[in-house]
Amino acid sequence: MPRHKIVFLNFITLFIFFVISLTGPKLLAQETAASSSAAVIENTTEAAAEDEDEGFDEEFEDEFGTAEQEVFDPLSGYNRVMTDFNDGFYLFVLDPVARGYRWVLPEPGRRGVKNFFHNLFFPLRFVNNVFQLKAQNAGEELLRFTINSTIGILGVWDPAKEWFGLEAHEEDFGQTLGYYGVGGGFHVVLPFLGPSNLRDMFSLYPEMQMDPLNYVEHRFYNFPKQEGEYLGVSRQTLQEVDFTLLRTINRESFRIGQYENLKKDAIELYPFLRDVYEQNREKLIKE
């Protein structure tokens, strides 16, 4: 081989060796750093995953523990039986009657009946708004009653809402007691009336005293009563029952299907209805 070619090959070999000697350590360091970074990332990912799993487990345990908190329900056995009774009564008696009533009476007529009874129960709403120091709401209730009882023809029509935008403010004695911090107490299911609690159950008495459909004069000191007085009280009592049934059936005619849609998501009917009732009452009291 010619001498100049040997010299050139030696020069190329030295140059390649020189380049490798310069870049080799850097490449090795980069590979080592990359490996270390990959290991760190992998360890960090695993640690984060473990922390996430631990956090999920703790959160799940907290939720599970909250779900398993026992509700003070000393009447649970009775409440379950009464819930089944009310459920059967609604499905086989009240709902078919309300559907038939809806088929017979068109919606404008049923709306007029609903407005009439709602206007009639003005005293209950007004007094409880006053008790809760809701002066504006009480004033609007008074205006609604005045307008609907006159222009609205005894409340059959609701011009207070349609013309003046005055909304009703639904309040009862149970909400008033809750407003002042009285707790609900344990749950009670009432026959025909449905879910309630100790506070709302005792609130039924003052509501009955203010119920316009329950104005019966009881004169226990006038004993013995004449036969005509007994018959008069009986007729009045029957009229009250008739009005109460009409109000209930008319009200349910606007709610057909709602109860079925509500309970279709229930695993157990009684605890589901109990929780729905208690949560709804707490929401109404806070409003």
Tell me, yes or no, whether 48 and 177 share the same domain. Answer: no
Both tokens assigned to 242: 């008739």
Tell me, yes or no, whether 94 and 182 share the same domain. Answer: yes
Residues 256, 91: Cα–Cα separation, whole Å: 11
Both tokens assigned to 276: 């729905």
Tell me, yes or no, whether 64 and 136 share the same domain. Answer: no
Tell me, yes or no, whether 52 and 184 share the same domain. Answer: no
pLDDT per residue rounded down to tens, the chain (287 residues): 544 444 444 444 444 444 344 444 443 444 444 444 444 444 544 544 455 445 544 544 444 444 446 789 999 999 999 999 999 999 999 999 999 999 999 999 999 999 999 999 999 999 999 999 999 999 999 999 999 999 999 999 999 999 999 999 999 999 999 999 999 999 999 999 999 999 999 999 999 888 887 765 544 444 444 444 444 545 656 666 778 899 999 999 999 999 999 998 899 999 999 999 999 999 999 98
Tell me, yes or no, whether 128 and 270 share the same domain. Answer: yes
Q: Helix, strand, coil % (nearest 5) of the chain?
A: 75, 5, 25
Residues 97, 111: Cα–Cα separation, whole Å: 17
Domain closes at, from 47, 69, 91 = 69
Q: Exposed (0-12), middle (13-18) or buried (19+): which is 207, by Cβ within 10 Å?
A: middle
Domain closes at, from 22, 42, 69 = 69
Tell me, yes or no, whether 26 and 83 share the same domain. Answer: no
Tell me, yes or no, whether 109 and 163 share the same domain. Answer: yes
Tell me, yes or no, whether 46 and 28 share the same domain. Answer: yes
Domain containing 249 equals: 76-286
Tell me, yes or no, whether 61 and 128 share the same domain. Answer: no
Peptide bond between residue 191 and the one before it cis (omega within 30 degrees of 0): no
Rounded to 10 deg, the angle between the 135-150 and 107-120 helix axes is 130
For residue 40, the Cα-to-chain-centroid distance in whole angstroms is: 49
b/e sequence 136-156, b meaning 16+ C-beta within 10 Å = ebbebbeebbebbeeebeebe
Number of structural domains in the chain = 2
Both tokens assigned to 174: 């149970």
**Tell me: the pLDDT tens digits for 1-50?**
544 444 444 444 444 444 344 444 443 444 444 444 444 444 544 544 45
Domain closes at, from 43, 69, 95 = 69
Tell me, yes or no, whether 107 and 196 share the same domain. Answer: yes
Whole-model pTM?
0.70
Tell me, yes or no, whether 47 and 135 share the same domain. Answer: no
Look up tokens 């080799």; give the residue: 24
Tell me, yes or no, whether 130 and 221 share the same domain. Answer: yes
Select from 276, 284, 242 the least CA-distant residue to 259: 276
